[in-house]
Chains A and B, each alone.
Chain A
Amino acid sequence: MLFNSYQFIFVFLPLAWAVFFLLGARSATLGAAWLAAASLYFYGYWSLSALPLLITSIVVNYLFGKAILSPRSSGSALTSKHALLVYALVFNLGLLGFFKYANFLIRTANAFLSPGNVLPAVDVDLPIGISFFTFTQIAYLVDAYRREASERSPVHYGLFVTYFPHLIAGPILHHKQMMPQFALASTYKPNIDSVTLGVLFFSLGLFKKVVIADGLAPYADAVFGAAREGAMPTLSDSWVGALAYTFQLYFDFSGYCDMAIGISKLFNIALPINFNSPYKAASITDFWRRWHMTLSAFLKDYLYIPLGGNRRGKTQRYRNLMITMVLGGLWHGAAWTFALWGGLHGLYLIVNHAWRAVVPQGLAGFLPAWLAKLTGIAITFLAVLLAWIPFRADTAATAGRIYRGLLGMNGISLPASLGSLASSPQYSGFVFEGLLPIAARSGISVPHVLGWLGAAAGIAFFCPNLPEFFSRLEGGRPMSAAQLKVLAIACGVALVVSLGLMQGDSPFLYFQF
C-alpha cells in the first residue's frame, strides 16, 4: 500500500489510528499489538509473498537478540555472545545477499564466462524494504552485543521493525529512539497537538511527492529512457534530464519521509529527521550530514568506524571512506552503476578531506564569506548532480550518453525556427529540432520544463525545510493565531491538490532499494 493512495488515506490510516487509540485506552500492549498487526497488513498488501520472509526475519532476530542479551551467552566459544552475533549477521547478510545480490553476482560472473558456461539466474523477486528492515535489525543486534539495547517484549520488538510509517523506505530507526516511546503510557492517548502537526506534515509531504516529484518525473524519464534506447541527448536535453532527476529524487524521498513523520506523529511517535535541505550543503561532507541522515549515521556507526574510521592515518581514512561509500552505493541497488555512484561520492569525500587538510580555512581564505559559501553550494550541487546520473541510469552506457550530452558532445539543439542557419558553416555542430527535442517528443513543452525546474529549485534552495518550519510549532518561536490559520488553510489546499493529482500507482523511488 502506498502513502499516496486513496485506500491508504481514506481507509487504512483512519482505521489503524482509531483502533490503535481505542485498544490503547484499555491496554498499551493491545494497542502496540494492533499497530504491529496493522503494519504487517500494510506490508502484505504490497507484497503478500514477502510477508513470511519479513516475519521469519523478525522472529529469528528477536531470538538472536534475546540470546545475546541473556547472561548465559558468555559460556563456550560456540555460544558466546560474540559467536551469536556472528551467526545473526551471517543470517541477515545471507538473506540480503540471496534476495538482493545473488543475480547481480551471477550476472557479473557470467560476464567473464564463455557463453556455453553461463550460470542460470536465480528466480527470486526482491522483497520490498528488505534493505531497511535488515539494517534496522543488524543495528539492534550490534547494540544488544554492546549492551546498549535490552528489549525483551516481542510485541514492542515486532512493532519496532514493522512500524508501517518507516517499514518500506525508512528512515532507518534506532531502537534507542523508538523503544522508550512504545513504553510511554501517553503514546496510547490521542493528542490534538500531535494530530495537528501530523496532518500538516503529511499534507505537505504528499504535495512534495505527488505534485513536485511526480510533476518532474516525465522529464527525467523521457531523457534517461531515450538515452537507454540509444538516443544521444543534446546539451539542453541532458541538463534538463539530469536536473529533473536531481530534484525529483529529493522531493520524492524527502516527501516520503515528511509523510512518514506526519503519520507517525498521529500515533504520538516521533521519527528521526532524514533530510535537512541537502542541496543547500556547502561541501560534500555537509551534504552527507543532510541527505538520508539515518543511513549516513548507520554507515558511519556500523561500517566506517568499525573499519577504523579516521583513527589510523589519512590513507586508512580515505580507504575507509571509499569502502563505506561503495558499499553504501551497493546497498541502494545490486548494479555496478550504484557502485559507481558510491565510488564517486567516496572520491568527493576524499577530495573534500584532502582539500581541508591542505587549506584548513577553505574558500573563505580567498573569497568573501558569502561568495565562498555560494561557490561551495554550487560546486557541491554540481558534484551531486553528476553522481545522480549513474544512480538513475540503467547501464553505464546510458550514463555515458548523458555525460556526453552534458558536455555538448552530442550536439546543441536550437529552435526549429532558426533552421535557415543550418547551411551556415559556423552552425555545423548544431541541430535545429527545438530547444528540448527529446522532451518535446514526449509531449513536454519548454515552458513546462523550466517552470517545474524553477519551482523545484526555488523550494530546494530558498525555502526552509518542513522540520525547520514546523519546529516553530513545537516549542520554537510561536506563531500568531492568524499565521496558524493561514498555514492550516495552505496545508488543506495542498492536500486537496495532491488528492486531485494523485496517480494511482506511483511508488516512491526509494521503494526499489
Chain B
Amino acid sequence: MRSTLISFFGTAVLGLLLIGGVNAQYRTVERELIAHQKAKLDRRADVVFVGDSSLGNSLDAELASRLSGKVVANLALTGAYAVPGCLEMLQQYIARHGAPQQIWIVQAIDVLERQIDARRVAQTLRDASLFESAFKLVDLREATAATQQALLLQGQDPLDGDYIRQAAPLHAADIPADLKLLPVSLSNVKALRSIANLCRTHGIRCALAIGPNARKQEAVARAYIETIPKVLPAAVRLEGRTPFWIDDDQLGDSPNHVHPRYRAQYTEKWACLIAPRAGCRL
C-alpha cells in the first residue's frame, strides 16, 4: 500500500504543479475584461452602469461624464454573466464606496431569458483564493470569443479602449427579424430582486434598461418588453425609452452591438437618460 500511496500523491502533486504553472501564464479575453472592469471599482462614481456587451459597446463613460456633469462608471461584462453579474459588481461597488446616485442595469433583450449559474458568476467575479488561482483549470468556455482570443494569442490587446474589441460587423440581412424568447429566467429575476433590495436599502434610483438592439427586431422585442414589468420588483423601474434601435448601417458584430464608430452617438443617448438637458435626442 505504501507504493500505491506514493503513486497517488506523486501524481496529484505533479498535476497540481502543472496546472499552477499553466495558470500563471494563461490569459483569456474574459479574464482581461473582468480585470479591466474590476479595476474601475476603485473609483467612486455618481452613476453606475452595469450590464452586458450591449452596454459595453454603446457607452463611453468619459464622454457620458462630460455630457451629463456626473461621474459615470461603465462596469459592463458580457451576456454570460447577465443580471447575476450585475448584482455581484454592484455589491462589490457598494461595499467599497457606498450608494451611488443612480444605478442602470442594461441587458440585451435575449440575455434576460438566459438561465445563469449565479454561484459560478459570483465565484468568477470575486477575488480568487490562493488555492483557486493556483489550481483552477482553464475553463474552455472562457475562450469562446475566438477572434478576440486570437488577437490575445498574437500579443495584441483584446480590449479596444474600454471594452472587448469587435469582430467584423454583421450584415443586416443575416439578422433574423423573428426572435423566439423564453420568459425572463429565474436566475435573472432572483438577481433583480436582490438588486431591488440594495436600491431600497440604500435609497438609490435604479432602472432596468434594455440594451441597444437591431431595428429589424423591433416588433418582436417590443412585445417581449411588455412582459418584463410582471417580474420586475417595484424598486427597479423599467426605462421605457430603451432599447435604442440600431439602424442597419450602425450595426456592430452582433444584433445588439453598436458599431464602434457610433459609440459616441449612443453615449449621448445614455447621457440624456441620466441627466436630461435641452436638445437631448433619444
Residues on A facing B (Cβ under 8 Å): 6, 10, 192-193, 195-196, 199-200, 203, 217-218, 221-222, 225-226, 228-231, 431, 433, 437-438, 441-443, 481, 484-485, 487-489, 491-493, 495-497, 499-506
Contact = CB atoms under 8 A, between A and B. Distances in A.
Interface stretch (B37-45, B110-118, B268-276): B110-118
Interface residues of B, number: 40
A335 to B, nearest CB: 17
Contacts of A222: 115
A225 B122 CA distance: 19
B241 interface: no
A221 B8 contact: no
Contacts of B101: none
B33 to A, nearest CB: 17
B5 A501 contact: no
Nearest to A484: B4
Nearest to B144: A443
Contacts of B135: 6, 496, 499-500, 502
Given A6-B132, A492-B15, A493-B11, A196 B1 contact: yes
A325 to B, nearest CB: 30
B38 to A, nearest CB: 17
A486 to B, nearest CB: 9
B115 A500 contact: no
A219 to B, nearest CB: 10
A142 to B, nearest CB: 39
Contacts of A195: 5
B4 A492 contact: no
B103 to A, nearest CB: 24
* Interface hub of B2, B15, B122, B183 (most chain A Cβ within 10 A): B15
Contact of A221 (B1, B2, B113, B115): B115
A499 B120 contact: no
B117 A229 contact: no
B16 A443 contact: no
6 contacts: A203-B8, A231-B183, A438-B182, A484-B7, A489-B7, A492-B15
A493 B184 CA distance: 40
Interface string B14-58: 011001000000000000000000000000000000000000000
Contact of A497 (B8, B137, B141, B184): B137
A279 to B, nearest CB: 26
A506 B119 CA distance: 7
Given A225-B115, A437-B180, A505 B123 contact: yes
* Interface hub of B9, B12, B126 (most chain A Cβ within 10 A): B12
A226 B183 CA distance: 8
Contacts of A496: 11-12, 15-16, 19, 135
Interface in B100-147: 113-117, 119-120, 122-123, 126, 129, 131-132, 135-137, 141
B80 interface: yes
A167 B8 CA distance: 28
A68 B8 CA distance: 48
Contact of B7 (A225, A492, A504): A492
A46 B5 CA distance: 31
B122 A492 contact: no
Contacts of A488: 4-5, 7-8, 11
Given A199-B5, A492-B11, A225 B123 contact: no
B10 interface: yes
A229 B8 contact: no
A219 B186 CA distance: 15
Interface of A is mostly: helix
Contacts of A221: 115, 117
B131 A10 contact: yes
A488 B4 CA distance: 6
B16 A503 contact: no
A226 B185 contact: yes
Contacts of A231: 182-183
B156 interface: no
- 5 closest Cβ pairs, A-B complex: A492-B11, A500-B137, A496-B15, A488-B7, A6-B131
A492 B9 contact: yes
Nearest to B5: A196
A506 B4 CA distance: 30
B186 A229 contact: yes
A6 B183 contact: no
Contact of A441 (B16, B136, B182): B182
Given A231-B182, A499-B135, A493 B119 contact: no
Given A485-B3, A505-B119, A505-B123, 14 more contacts: A193-B1, A199-B9, A225-B115, A226-B183, A228-B186, A487-B4, A488-B7, A493-B11, A496-B15, A496-B135, A499-B16, A502-B135, A504-B122, A505-B122
Contacts of A442: 114-116
B132 A433 contact: no
Contacts of B129: 6
B10 A226 contact: no
B39 to A, nearest CB: 22
A493 B15 contact: yes
Given A221-B117, A225-B187, A500-B137, A491 B8 contact: yes
Contacts of B136: 500
A501 to B, nearest CB: 6
A203 B9 CA distance: 11
Given A500-B135, A503-B123, A229 B114 contact: no
Contacts of B4: 196, 200, 484-485, 487-488
A487 B5 CA distance: 10
B182 A226 contact: yes
Contacts of A218: 117
B227 to A, nearest CB: 10
Interface in B165-213: 180, 182-187, 189
A443 B121 CA distance: 14
B179 to A, nearest CB: 11
Given A488-B8, A506-B119, A229 B132 contact: no
A217 B116 CA distance: 12
A394 to B, nearest CB: 9
A259 to B, nearest CB: 15
Contact of B8 (A10, A199, A437): A199
Contacts of A199: 5, 8-9
Given A192-B1, A221-B115, A492-B12, A485 B7 contact: yes
A67 to B, nearest CB: 45
